[in-house]
Amino acid sequence: PAPAPAPAPAPPQQPPAPLEAPPQQRDNSLVLPMAAEASTTARNRCYTSTTATATTTAAMPTTAAAPPRRPLVSAYSADCAPRATYQIPKSGRLAAWWIEEERDDGSPMYRRVEEGAEIELNEKFRSALLATQRHSHRGAAGAAELLAAFRSALQGTNVRALRCIALDGEVAKRLPLELRGDSRISAIRLPCVEASGKMALAGSALRRAKSIVEELLQREGPAVFKIGITCNPLNRWLAYAMDGYHQFHLLYATEESGVVQMLEAALIDSFQERSGCRNIARGGEGPVGKPPFFAYLALAPCRDAVGVRLQPCAQRKRMRIRD
């Protein structure tokens, strides 16, 4: 019989294919913030830096929680939004007004507006505050609305040289910088005037002023400070600015000179032994001039070992700016 055909050689076995790795998932944490950044940039350019910071944080793995940074806080970067329940006083003086003028040497000085003109300015200012109260929480935009309404109430009168010191902290929060003049003068911590025009009692006003001074001293760290009273905060601040002070906080405003004198004496008695206090006298002298009268805190934080630069006595007398 014919021999059986030889079986066909088996095909060479291929090595088993390695298991295919599952496709890697895309890192959506990187894509989503980038898309959000693009859309946010298209809507509003001012948020680009904030979104870019969020993108970088999402892309880099977090190894350890970074210690919280102490925010750079000052009296002018605090939240200055007025209270939603605040009611504008219907009577009484809302603010004191000055006109900025120039001395022979080019330095500024501030002259108080006459009584009749100030009454009219306060009435126009009150009407502007009431007309723009719905914009009170819009920050700079709300301040611009208030300035436009005030100019309209004055029928287009030029207010470029006009300066205002509000007697109410809630009103001060709404003032545009064009009326405040120097941003280093802060009136936002003045107590609120009730809608009826009444002020807080003397005891509560003293406790409140003490707490404000303590808060500012703790917030700014080592600092040189001085407590005083004046009837012209703008001119008084110029004298402190010459000495190197950085901030000027108004603590209390009143129409009675005796009240502010007692408040000054009580505050100096409480803080005169504190390191950095430059008050020598016990307080209670002056001020001489037209009301309202203000109690204030002049402050110079000693960051990087930089403090105030006191002028020689004779030079200070020549440079002294009277209220």
What is the per-residue pLDDT across 198-231, written as a single tens digit (0 to 9) for each?
566 677 889 999 999 999 999 988 999 999 999 9
Which residues are registered as beta bridge partners of 111? 99
Helices 48-59 and 28-43, packing angle to 10 deg: 180
> Tell me, what's the pLDDT at 92?
84
Where is 24: in which H helix or E strand? Answer: none
**What pLDDT is recorded for position 276?**
93
Low-confidence ranges of the chain (pLDDT < 70): 1-85, 194-201, 303-323
Q: What is the pLDDT of residue 210?
A: 96
pTM summary value = 0.70
Q: What is the pLDDT of residue 101?
A: 94
Residue 139 sits at the vertex; the CA angle it makes with 138 and 140, to the nearest 5 degrees, is 115
- Burial-class residue 228 by CB neighbours within 10 Å (0-12, 13-18, 19+): buried
Distance from C-alpha of 304 to C-alpha of 281, rounded to nearest angstrom: 29
Looking up tokens 């819009």, which residue turns up?
A: 138
Paired tokens of 242: 């010459």
What's the pLDDT tens digit per position in 16-56?
555 444 444 444 433 333 333 333 333 333 322 333 333 33
